[in-house]
Amino acid sequence: MKYGYFDDDRREYVITTPATPLPWINYLGNDGFYGLISNTAGGYDFYRDAKLRRITRFRYNNVPNDIGGRMYYIKDGGCTWSPSFLPAGTELDSYECRHGMGYTVFTGKKNGVNAKLTAFVPLGDACELNRLEITNDSSETKELTIYSCIEWCLWNAVDDANNYQRNLSIGELEVVGSTIYHKTEFRERRDHYAFFTVNADVNGFDTDRDVFLGARRAWDDPIQIENGTSGNTVASGWYPIASHQLKLTLAPGEKKSYVFQLGYVEVPRDRKFESKGVINKAPALALIGKYNTDARVEAAFKALAEYWSDLLGIYHLESGSDKLNRMVNIWHQYQCMVTFNMSRSASYWETGTGRGMGFRDSCQDLLGFMHLVPDRARARIIDIASIQFENGSTYHQYQPLTKRGNADIGGGFNDDPLWLVACTAAYIRETGDATILEHPTPFNNVEGSEKPLMEHLRRSINFIVNNKGPHGLPLIGRADWNDCLNLNCFSEEPGESFQTFGPSEGPVAESVFIAGMFVKYGLEYADLCEHFGSKDEADSVRNEVGKIKKATEEYGWDGEWFLRAYDAYSHKVGSNECEEGKIFIEPQGFCTMAGIGQEKGYGRKALDSVKKWLVNDYGVEILAPCYTTYHVELGEISSYPPGYKENGAIFTHNNPWVSVAATVIGDAEMAFDIYRRSCPAFLEDVSEIHRTEPYVYSQMIAGREAVHYGEAKNSFLTGTAAWAFVDISQAILGVQPTLDGLSVKPCVPAELGDYSVTRRYRGSLYNIRVTREAGRSGLTVNGAPVEGSVIPVPAAGSRVDVVCYI
């Protein structure tokens, strides 16, 4: 069952009912000012950091679970309704929500009135615009009253939801004309405030929530709206909001348009006030002036559309499959932008108050983002590397506002350092810009500790070499990619963090997964050395890779598949000898990608075992059989009920590893089959089972042993976004950046037919046609055959015609 449809020409998903199984959301904003917006206009806005600069309030665990956000009411006689259905909740005559690239448009109709609400964040400015267009489609004159409303968050979202003894006394506002300024804490240490305005004279306003709503009322039924009044309140403490009241008369066929703007500004510390206690409004007025007419808003909306057209033109596929085209050309890349911006901080599942930017998460997000805005990718790599410690290990997370490592969680996740090698190598393959390796980059943000980025990568590699266990395999530390495989934790009490409790960095527990990573990324590092550094170093790293490869073949192979790990007692994890958790997906994907045991056919066997044990209707499960009891020596993984999360769900992030691995052993059918199973557009028809958005990946889909098999959770912020795009665009469709230029080497099943890809790469435009012709193989570049699969980089600005015969 579907709850909408894809409109590919407009790059939108069109939701046709507010009653989706869960709120289906979108993100507004590309750089700095962000909004989450659901298909009933719920959500919240923040500036840079969803914890420290939360602008509007949102209640997780609320009922309904996405009430709030952008609240617009239209009062038409005795009937009050919202263009986005909520908050009024009045049945609409028609409803539509279009989630597009950085914008969402609602169209609601009721009793002959048509209301269109367009929400977006204009490029380069810290504000959200809500354009409300109201048309009278009836044959009578309409006397309408519009109410807007947003609820302010008192900046720090954690304090806002905790510290009521303080909060309920600190709220402060100013109201000037149609603009409501939220200035809580500005009189003391803050140098920023927010405002909510509309480009029309208002008939009234409210900033005191209790006066607006009335006693014991909720957002669907404010007393002021019932009475057709406004309190004209300026709140002091309690619950500050911003609501406008606008009265209008519309003749039949007449239309009126309003622009609401929610803005954030920072003020120089020495110019905070225009007079005692009165905030300096100059920066707000400048921002308001930029978007206070329909024409200005239309121009900004057009600029946003052009921005996305340009970005999505960098990799464009034309194939016979609509589903594949829309994922590759639109939604994969869009989700990669969102994960780049958010890491795992703010979604409808991540509160924005816990994890900031994850080290491994952000490094992997970059893998799918590199081609879109390489300058931002470069800056991000430096930010990430700056939280690395001198010994090569790293903080696990950092706060986006301060860019400092998060001491609560610390380090000790032994896969982390290698992801830095992965994303830096990918950046250079994309851009050819090896100067990044020379960039002076501090350790742990300590001034004076700067070393070229290359030295950071070297220490990442050495960290693994210097931290091996009894079998010569890498020590796992607190956890590797699988945060829940906590082999050094031994927690017996509820509430202890599996990630930080216990001896945590024991000298015995080893990870076969990190071994696979080391072989893959050690070789990528060696290539960097060879191209941009020293041949000797390349040789010595390859030698270290050889040792771990050998150790993995000897001690990391279980007979039919790769082992997952050795625990703190040196017992096998993920072995046929185990009763539960016999086989794990991660090493099958990574060790096969790394080519470990290739000559012995390990990859083929491992992937056959994956098919036998782990593949289900919606993807590949993370392990089987699921743990049914708690294993203190394994940690959080065994804490989840069978079939959920890391205990046997399809943890979608690692599905592309299996798919890429299949391309490495040349199994095109399996590669595409695995890609397709968990791909959201391919699951659209079972949205009532899948439940999350059909246009983006969710972190997990419950596995066969779960009570709710097939149900997805944690949509949007997942490493799957980047890896799925890498998988389909580079490994399967085969258009892959290398240090020496673009390589074209497809691994596609015949069912996909011929296709073409346009790719902008290092300043040139490649038109690539992939075609099957009996008896022909290889590449032609501008008509001439070339050896191998790599196209030598032409002068920037070239047009390159490539035909690839398969």
Q: Residue 549: helix, strand or coil by DSSP?
A: helix
What pairs with residue 760 in β-bridges? Answer: 765
CB 29 within 8 A of CB 168: no
Q: Which of residues 587-646 bind ligand GLC (CB under 6 A)?
A: 636, 645-646
Per-residue interface string for the shown chain with ligand GLC, residues 441-470, x marking contact by CB under 6 A: ------------------------------
Q: Work out whether 483 is an interface residue with ligand GLC (CB under 6 A).
A: yes
Is the Cβ of residue 23 or residue 358 nearer to ligand GLC in the bound state? 358
Residue choice 47, 120, 481, 613 for contact with ligand GLC (CB under 6 A): 481
The nearer residue to ligand GLC, 56 or 482, going by C-beta atoms, is 482
Q: Strand, helix or coil at 535?
A: helix
Pick the piece of the chain touching ligand GLC (CB under 6 A) from 105-113, 224-232, 479-487, 581-589. 479-487
CB-nearer residue toward ligand GLC: 359 or 566: 359
Candidate residues 102, 171, 358, 703; the one interacting with ligand GLC per rule CB under 6 A: 358
Are the C-beta atoms of residues 310 and 337 closer than 8 Å to each other?
no
Cα angle at 87 between 83 and 93, to 5 degrees? 40
- 344 near ligand GLC, judged by CB under 6 A: yes
Closest CB 564 distance from ligand GLC, rounded Å: 13
The 3 state secondary structure assigned to 549-567 is HHHHHHHCECCCCECCEEC
Which spans in 432-534 are helix H? Answer: 453-465, 512-532
Residue type, position 701, single letter: I
Question: What is the nearest approach in angstroms of ligand GLC to the Cβ of residue 47?
Answer: 23
φ and ψ of 617, to 5 deg: -65, -30
Q: Interface residues for ligand GLC in 375-414 (CB under 6 A)?
A: none
Question: Minimum CB separation from ligand GLC for residue 180, in Å?
Answer: 37
Residue 793 DSSP label: P
Q: Which two tokens stand for residue 367?
A: 């893998």
Rounded CA-CA distance 546/553 in Å is 10
Least distance from ligand GLC to the Cβ atom of residue 373, Å: 22
For ligand GLC, which is the closer residue by CB, 483 or 567?
A: 483
Cβ burial, residue 112 (10 Å; 0-12/13-18/19+): middle
Given 360, 564, 605, 704, the residue binding ligand GLC (CB under 6 A): 360
Q: Which two tokens stand for residue 330?
A: 């639109």
Nearest to 644 by CA among 700, 698, 583: 700
Q: In what order do the strands lie in the sheet with 103-110?
A: 4-7, 12-15, 94-100, 103-110, 113-120, 127-136, 255-266, 192-198, 179-182, 173-176
User: Rule CB under 6 A: is residue 183 a binding residue for ligand GLC?
Assistant: no
Segment contacting ligand GLC (CB under 6 A): 19-27, 269-277, 357-365, 749-757?
A: 357-365
Residue of the chain from 96, 208, 361, 416 that contacts ligand GLC (CB under 6 A): 361
Alpha-carbon span 231 to 217, nearest angstrom: 15
Binding positions for ligand GLC, 683-712, rule CB under 6 A: 699
CB of 645 to ligand GLC, least distance (A): 5
Contact range with ligand GLC by CB under 6 A, out of 478-486, 523-531, 577-585, 687-695: 478-486
Q: Which residues, 6+ apart, have CB-to-CB distance to 344 below 8 Å?
A: 350, 355, 358, 361, 717, 718
Taking the complex as a whole, the smallest distance from the CB of residue 117 to ligand GLC amounts, in Å, to 33
Q: Among residues 361 and 430, whose Cβ is nearest to ligand GLC?
A: 361
Residue from 561, 590, 64 nearest 573 by CA: 561
Catalytic residue check, 483: yes
Nearer to ligand GLC, 219 or 501 (CB): 501
Counting contacts by CB under 6 A, is residue 478 touching ligand GLC?
no
Residues making up the chain, counted from first to last: 806
Span near ligand GLC by CB under 6 A; candidates 120-128, 354-362, 521-529, 602-610: 354-362
Strand partners, 260: 130, 198
Looking at the Cβ atoms of 122 and 358, the one nearer to ligand GLC is: 358
Determine if the peptide bond prior to 470 is cis (ω within 30°): no
Of residues 362 and 736, the one with the C-beta less far from ligand GLC = 362
250-269 binders of ligand GLC (CB under 6 A): none
Touching ligand GLC, residues 97-156 (CB under 6 A):
none
Query: What is the residue whose two structure tokens read 């004279």?
Result: 201
Q: Which is nearer to ligand GLC, 344 or 582 (CB)?
A: 344
Q: Taking the complex as a whole, how short is the minimal distance between the CB of residue 699 and ligand GLC, in angstroms? A: 5
How crowded is residue 486: how many other Cβ atoms within 10 Å of its Cβ?
A: 29
The least CB distance from residue 486 to ligand GLC, in Å, is 9
> Is 610 in a helix, a strand, or coil?
helix
Catalytic pick among 76, 208, 483, 527: 483
- Give the shortest CB-647-to-ligand GLC separation in angstroms: 9
State which residue has the least CB distance to ligand GLC.
Answer: 483
- CB count within 10 Å of CB 714 equals 20
Q: Does 484 bind ligand GLC (CB under 6 A)?
A: yes
Q: Which of 328, 378, 315, 383 is nearest to 8 (CA)?
A: 328
Burial of residue 25, with CB atoms counted within 10 A of its CB: 0-12 exposed, 13-18 middle, 19 or more buried: buried
CB nearer to ligand GLC: pick between 96 and 636 = 636
Residue 562 three-state SS? strand
- Among the candidate windows 135-143, 211-219, 238-246, 480-488, which touches ligand GLC by CB under 6 A? 480-488
Rg over CA atoms, the chain: 27
Site stretch for ligand GLC (CB under 6 A), options 247-255, 353-361, 366-374, 771-779? 353-361
- Looking only at residues 709 through 728 of this chain, which bind ligand GLC when binding is defined by CB under 6 A? 718
332 vs 645, beta carbon nearer ligand GLC: 645
Here the tokens at position 487 are: 């082999």
Our CB check for ligand GLC shows the closer of 187 and 713 to be: 713
Name the helix (H) or strand (E) containing 705. none
The helix (H) or strand (E) run that includes residue 752 is none
- Distance of closest approach, residue 484 Cβ to ligand GLC, in angstroms: 5
Residue 48 φ/ψ region, left for φ over 0, alpha for ψ in the -120 to 50 degree band, beta for the rest:
left
For residue 323, the minimal CB distance to ligand GLC (Å) is 25
**Distance, CA of 458 to CA of 544 (rounded, Å):** 13
- What string of H, E and C letters represents the secondary structure of 427-455? HHHHHCCHHHHHCEECCCCCCCCCEEHHH
- By CB under 6 A, how many residues form the interface with ligand GLC? 14
Choose the stretch contacting ligand GLC; rule: CB under 6 A; options: 266-274, 455-463, 475-483, 679-687.
Answer: 475-483
Question: Among the candidate windows 227-235, 385-393, 422-430, 482-490, which touches ligand GLC by CB under 6 A?
Answer: 482-490
Task: Burial-class residue 754 by CB neighbours within 10 Å (0-12, 13-18, 19+).
Answer: middle
List 136, 179, 345, 482, residue binding ligand GLC (CB under 6 A): 482
Per DSSP, 62 falls in state -
Q: Which is nearer to ligand GLC, 184 or 698 (CB)?
A: 698
Q: Binding mask 641-680 vs ligand GLC (x if CB under 6 A, - otherwise)?
A: ----xx----------------------------------
Minimum distance from CB of 364 to ligand GLC (Å)?
8
Query: Measured from the CB of residue 780, what is the shortest distance to ligand GLC in angstroms?
Result: 42
Closest CA to 497 of 586, 620, 379, 409: 409
Residues that are catalytic: 483
Binding residues for ligand GLC, rule: CB under 6 A, are 344, 358, 360-361, 481-484, 499, 636, 645-646, 699, 718
